[in-house]
């Protein structure tokens, strides 16, 4: 762009960039890379994988933080979806190579679960 008029011509347009061209820091992730990852509740020691919570099916932006939508496995005792804030207090580890996300569910997080039949 050389001037404001050229930039103004792009106003309200969607501009796409190849994911290969996007640089992220070690603690940053592209949403597309998180979708499809399996989500596990942290083990009793607060690390490692315990129970499988489900699979990331979507991400949403709600202003204060991004939110993972996690669908439970088909054979789950309680089928449904979790809406988990993508914040340090909840998301403890993201391993894109193994497609795993480790989370901690603080007290009261059961309010973020929507049962589905």
* Domain, as residue range, for 79: 29-115
- Structure tokens that stand for 41 in this block: 């509740």
What predicted TM-score, i.e. pTM, was given to this entire model? 0.80
CATH code at 56? 2.30.30.240
**Percentage of the chain exceeding pLDDT 90:** 50
Q: Report if residue 68 sits inside a domain.
A: yes
Q: How many domains does the chain have?
A: 1
Q: Can you spell out the DSSP letters for 40-105? A: EEE-TTSSSEEEEEEEEEEEEE-SSSEEEEEEPPTT-SS-EEEEEE-STTTEEEEETTTTEEEE--
Q: Report if residue 42 sits inside a domain.
A: yes
Q: Report if residue 11 sits inside a domain.
A: no
What's the first-to-final CA gap in the chain, in angstroms?
53
- Structure tokens that stand for 47 in this block: 């690390």
Banded model confidence at residue 45, pLDDT cuts 50, 70, 90: low
Q: Report if residue 17 sits inside a domain.
A: no
Q: Report if residue 24 sits inside a domain.
A: no
Q: Report if residue 44 sits inside a domain.
A: yes
Q: Report if residue 21 sits inside a domain.
A: no
Residue 1 has pLDDT above 60, yes or no: no
């Amino acid at each position: 762009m050389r001037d404001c008029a050229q930039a103004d011509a792009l106003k309200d347009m969607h501009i796409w960039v190849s994911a290969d061209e996007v640089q992220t820091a070690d603690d940053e992730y592209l949403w597309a890379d998180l979708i499809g990852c399996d989500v596990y509740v942290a083990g009793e020691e607060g690390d490692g994988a315990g129970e499988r919570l489900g699979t990331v099916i979507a991400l949403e932006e709600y202003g204060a933080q991004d939110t993972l939508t996690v669908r439970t496995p088909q054979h789950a005792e309680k089928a449904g979806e979790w809406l988990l804030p993508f914040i340090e207090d909840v998301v403890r580890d993201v391993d894109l190579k193994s497609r795993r996300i480790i989370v901690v569910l603080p007290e009261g997080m059961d309010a973020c679960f929507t049962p589905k039949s």
